[in-house]
């Protein structure tokens, strides 16, 4: 699969602040996608665990943790299916567009169909639609940046900035909307927000299609072959969500399946004759960051499970006499991304090949995360309510770390991607995200509010410190920068 050449004058690609304008359409719709996705995810645990008399479903808190993490993990896991469809059926742009439509329908179902049936059907549609959007937004941005190798991290940081802006508005707004009007109106807001994003995107989709990866005709699958896997996937998702009522842990299922698929895909890359030795060398150097990203997602997802619960019951959320909704505090994470991302985009762009290695970036981010989790553990150990300023600082740290780790990881995955597996390589990166996100649900089930919070958060801090050590070892072992890896593969 190859990227189409922009239909511009020879040697000229239109740019804005040094970055190609063709990355703007997928970046813009990503902002609205993240608004809907994170806004809904922020209130999902509370919707599932809130009694039916108060507008929720009334399932136990541990089950709510499992469903929420399994849902988020499934989105990243199903990027494999979305990548396969993009590579072999309709292309990346088509999957992005129709994924948006499907996700809008899912949010609408959550809004208008109460109870477990609405939760099941709505989450299935959102999972399939969001998976199609997530992997192909990044792929399209990667295609636009193909001729801008020294500015890949800068370009992806801008892309991530737009996503963070959408997430910030969604996370902050949904908590307020839910508190004022109820869960179902908040879900409807997600549907309306994504519909607005799609309406803005559609007039510009031709420019996006020009830089989109094209379907490899030698691998093209017929429409008939497409129906079977989609039906199987949808049925599996429905069965997994309903299985919760009979005692199965969906987070464990998603984590296990994702881990197996990761092994299968990496094995395929290393054994395929279509992957050159240089490409395989790039993948080897990417592996430590794959595992580090996995761990980061397991820690970051705690914001929407254990830390969210701690924010509601264990934090003094009053500021000048007003009580801040617990979900609104979580909006500080993407707000930090909005504030920090432009600075990093400028810095990485100016430094170019002189920028810090990926291992150094990761090591610093995880060290700060360990510090933040340690502070949260000590605050919980006092036995009194955690000051709102402390919680805000901790969430801010997660946001700052996210803007370093996530764009760098996506940039590496697209940079080392074998030419025959462009979209699938990014989906493998998202498999790591799926493993980490689902694993966070398994970890969260050991959390008991008011009983083991100190031990739990200290344990998470120890995990972050272990990654710092691993990144130092990786730097000593490989000693090469992200940009060197990308250039080696592209040579």
Bridge partners of 315, per DSSP, are: 386
Tokens for 270? 């290393």
Which residues touch 230 (CB under 8 Å, ≥6 apart)? Answer: 81, 128
- Tell me the pLDDT tens digit for each residue of 381-410: 877 777 878 888 888 888 888 878 887 887
Per-residue tokens: 467: 């990654």
Pairwise CA distance, residues 294 & 274, whole Å = 27
Per the CB < 8 A criterion, the answer to whether 449 and 313 are in contact is: yes
Residues in the chain where the model's pLDDT stays below 50:
1-11, 480-491
CA distance 437 to 243: 19
214 exposure class (CB count in 10 Å sphere: 0-12, 13-18, 19+): middle
pLDDT at 238: 66
The answer to whether the CB of 329 falls within 8 A of the CB of 392 is yes
- Directed axis angle between helix 24-49 and helix 61-77, to 10°? 160
Q: How far apart (Å, rounded) are the C-alpha atoms in residues 184 and 111?
A: 4
Q: Which runs of E-coded beta strand occur in 334-410?
A: 386-387
Structure confidence by residue, pLDDT tens digits, 118-142: 888 899 899 989 988 887 887 788 7
β-strand pairing of 322-323 with 15-16:
unpaired
Residue 148 confidence (pLDDT):
67
């Amino acid at each position: 699969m190859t990227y189409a050449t922009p239909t511009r004058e020879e040697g000229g690609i239109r740019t804005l602040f040094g970055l190609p304008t063709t990355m703007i359409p997928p970046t813009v719709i990503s902002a609205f996608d993240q608004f809907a996705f994170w806004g809904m995810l922020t209130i999902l645990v509370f919707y599932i665990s809130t009694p039916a008399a108060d507008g929720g479903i009334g399932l136990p808190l541990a089950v709510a943790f499992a469903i929420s993490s399994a849902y988020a993990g499934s989105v990243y896991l199903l990027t494999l299916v979305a990548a396969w469809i993009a590579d072999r059926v309709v292309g990346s742009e088509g999957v992005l567009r129709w994924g948006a439509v499907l996700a809008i329908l899912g949010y609408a179902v959550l809004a208008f169909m109460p109870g477990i049936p609405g939760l099941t059907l709505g989450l299935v549609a959102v999972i399939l639609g969001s998976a199609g959007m997530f992997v192909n937004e990044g792929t399209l941005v990667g295609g636009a940046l193909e001729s801008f190798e020294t500015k890949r991290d800068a370009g992806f940081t801008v892309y991530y900035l737009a996503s963070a802006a959408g997430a910030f508005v969604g996370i902050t707004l949904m908590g307020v909307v839910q508190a004022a009007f109820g869960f179902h109106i908040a879900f409807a807001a997600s549907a309306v927000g994504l519909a607005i994003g799609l309406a803005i995107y559609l007039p510009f989709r031709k420019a996006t299609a020009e830089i989109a990866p094209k379907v490899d005709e030698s691998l093209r699958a017929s429409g008939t072959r497409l129906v079977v896997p989609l039906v199987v996937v949808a049925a599996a998702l429905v069965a997994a969500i309903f299985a919760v009522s009979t005692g199965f842990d969906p987070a464990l299922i998603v984590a296990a399946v994702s881990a197996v698929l990761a092994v299968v895909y990496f094995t395929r890359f290393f054994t395929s004759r279509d992957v050159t030795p240089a490409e395989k060398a790039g993948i080897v150097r990417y592996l430590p960051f794959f595992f580090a990203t996995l761990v980061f997602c397991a820690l970051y997802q705690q914001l929407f499970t254990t830390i969210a619960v701690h924010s509601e019951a264990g934090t003094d959320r009053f500021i000048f006499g007003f009580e801040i909704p617990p979900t609104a505090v979580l909006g500080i994470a993407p707000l930090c991304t909005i504030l920090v991302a432009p600075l990093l985009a400028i810095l990485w762009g100016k430094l170019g090949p002189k920028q810090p290695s990926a291992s150094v970036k990761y090591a610093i981010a995880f060290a700060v995360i360990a510090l933040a989790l340690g502070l949260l553990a000590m605050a919980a150990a006092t036995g009194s309510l955690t000051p709102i300023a402390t919680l805000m600082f901790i969430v801010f740290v997660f946001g700052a770390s996210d803007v370093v780790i996530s764009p760098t990881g996506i940039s590496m995955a697209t940079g080392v991607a074998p030419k025959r597996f462009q979209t699938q390589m990014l989906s493998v990166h998202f498999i790591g995200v799926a493993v980490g996100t689902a694993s966070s649900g398994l970890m969260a089930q050991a959390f008991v509010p008011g009983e083991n919070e100190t031990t739990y958060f200290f344990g998470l801090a120890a995990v972050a410190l272990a990654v710092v050590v691993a990144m130092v070892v990786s730097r000593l072992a490989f000693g090469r920068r992200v940009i060197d890896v990308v250039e080696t593969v592209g040579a």
